[in-house]
């Protein structure tokens, strides 16, 4: 039977995952297809049962289902369980569904594509403490980043993340703004700057220094106000597109055992996003 894959979320029409995975399937000569499926939160359990019944080989999970899906899976990878979020599901040969999280590792691959692996000792500040921030924090720790601070509007969530991580500090927005210069890697994980979002960056970035490496997880637009500011002062910029492409590539590898061409995809989506 022809293999098929999917992404479930709400909303889902804007997702670039189908285009990306279908292109990779075509390039790799794999006879399979990848489709977007709109799944409302109240239908999540039924949707998963249906996907399984209809023989899906694997699927991605996006907002707002990344945490809610966990109880409906047969198995969850240890790291994904720690992160509390799943974005990739594999249907194993025995029919069981196993969840993984590829967002955090996707972020670290994208970051290290740009800055290499020699900067893991530098102090990191993560802005935001939602699902994406959790994945990133756990993956940074796994890769040997030793100095992680989280700042979040809801302080308790930052504290909870740091407690789960077992290392690092949680600080208020004001403190983050005042001490910004001491953090050499800044990671923006809130929806600020995203197309159609009216959220402004929640901390002041006036004190950003030009030695900073500024990474955003938003990729549409490619250059958020946060990254534009970093670029203007001569800091290093890491757009969110690399994370998106690498999380997809790691998912693809879980399903099909091969790592697809990420550089080509980043180039293709960059020119597309720049012309939108
Ligand atoms: P995701 O799981 O995709 O990361 P999320 O859980 O909604 O999304 O988290 C988004 C992050 O953006 C959170 O850190 C959130 O802060 P809270 O934990 O205080 O909710 C932050 N965020 C969202 N809207 C915000 C706003 N208007 N001002 C400041 N921070 C905001």
Atom of ligand 1 nearest to the CA of 66: 2
Give 185 Cα–ligand 1 centroid separation in angstroms.
20
Topology adopted by domain 104-239: Rossmann fold (3.40.50)
In contact, 191 and 199? CB cutoff 8 Å: yes
Q: Is the CB of 130 under 6 A from ligand 1?
A: yes
- Answer yes or no: 23 catalytic: no
Domain boundaries, the chain: 3-102+242-275, 104-239
Q: Give, to the nearest 10 degrees, the angle between helix 131-142 and helix 103-115.
A: 60
SS3 of the chain: CCEEEEEEECCCCCCCHHHHHHHHHHHCCCCEEEEEEECCHHHHHHHHHHHHHCCCCEEEECCCCCCCCHHHCCEECHHHHHHCCCCEEEECCCCCEEEECCHHHHHHHHHHHHHCCCCCCCCEEEECCCHHHHHHHHHHHHCCCCCEEEECCCHHHHHHHHHHHCCCEEECHHHHHHCHHHCCEEEECCCCCCCCCCCCCCCCCCCCCCCCEEEECCCCCCCCHHHHHHHHCCCEEECCHHHHHHHHHHHHHHHHCCCCCHHHHHHHHHHHHHHC
Q: Which residue has the tokens 């359990």?
A: 45
Q: What's the pLDDT score for residue 211? A: 97
Atom of ligand 1 nearest to the CA of 190: 12
Question: What is the position in ligand 1's atom list of the atom closest to the CA of 63?
Answer: 3
Spacing, Cα 217 to ligand 1 middle (Å) = 13
- For residue 29, the CA-to-ligand 1 centroid distance in Å is 40
- Identified catalytic residue from 2, 23, 40, 66: 66
- For tokens 């534009």, what's the residue? 228
The pLDDT, as a whole number, for residue 131 is: 87
166: its two tokens:
């077992």
Ligand 1 contact, 197 CB (< 6 A): no
What size, in residues, is the chain? 276
CA atoms of 179 and 182, how far apart (whole Å): 6
What CATH code would you report for 3-102+242-275?
Answer: 3.40.50.10860
Task: Show pLDDT as tens, one digit a residue, over the chain (276 residues).
Answer: 799 999 999 999 989 999 999 999 999 999 999 999 999 999 999 999 999 999 999 999 998 999 999 999 999 999 999 999 999 999 999 999 999 999 999 999 999 999 999 999 999 999 999 989 999 999 999 999 999 999 999 999 999 999 999 999 999 999 999 999 999 999 999 999 998 888 999 999 999 999 999 999 999 999 999 999 999 999 999 999 999 999 999 999 999 999 999 999 999 999 999 988
Q: Does the beta carbon of 131 sit less than 6 angstroms from any atom of ligand 1?
A: yes
Q: 3-102+242-275 and 104-239: same fold?
A: yes
């Amino acid at each position: 039977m022809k293999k098929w894959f999917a992404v479930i979320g709400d909303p889902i029409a804007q997702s670039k995952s189908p285009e990306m995975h279908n292109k990779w399937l075509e390039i790799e000569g794999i006879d399979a297809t990848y489709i977007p499926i709109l799944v409302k939160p109240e239908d999540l359990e039924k949707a998963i049962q249906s996907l399984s019944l209809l023989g899906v080989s694997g699927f991605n999970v996006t907002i707002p289902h990344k945490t809610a899906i966990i109880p409906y899976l047969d198995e969850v990878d240890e790291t994904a369980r720690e992160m509390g979020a799943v974005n990739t599901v594999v249907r194993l040969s025995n029919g069981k569904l196993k969840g993984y999280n590829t967002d955090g590792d996707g972020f670290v691959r994208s970051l290290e594509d740009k800055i290499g692996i020699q900067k893991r000792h530098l102090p990191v500040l993560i802005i935001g403490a939602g699902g994406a921030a959790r994945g990133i924090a756990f993956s940074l720790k796994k890769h040997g980043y030793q100095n992680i601070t989280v700042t979040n509007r809801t302080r308790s969530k930052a504290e909870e993340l740091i407690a789960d991580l077992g290392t690092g500090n949680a600080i208020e927005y004001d403190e983050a703004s005042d001490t910004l210069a001491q953090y050499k890697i800044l990671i923006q994980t809130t929806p600020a700057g995203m197309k159609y979002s009216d959220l402004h960056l929640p901390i002041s970035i006036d004190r950003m220094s030009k030695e900073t490496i500024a990474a955003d997880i938003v990729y549409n637009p490619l250059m958020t106000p946060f990254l534009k500011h970093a670029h203007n002062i001569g800091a290093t910029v890491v757009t969110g597109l690399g994370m998106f492409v690498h999380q997809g590539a790691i998912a693809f590898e879980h399903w099909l055992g091969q790592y697809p061409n990420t550089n080509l995809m980043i180039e293709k989506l960059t020119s597309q996003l720049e012309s939108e």
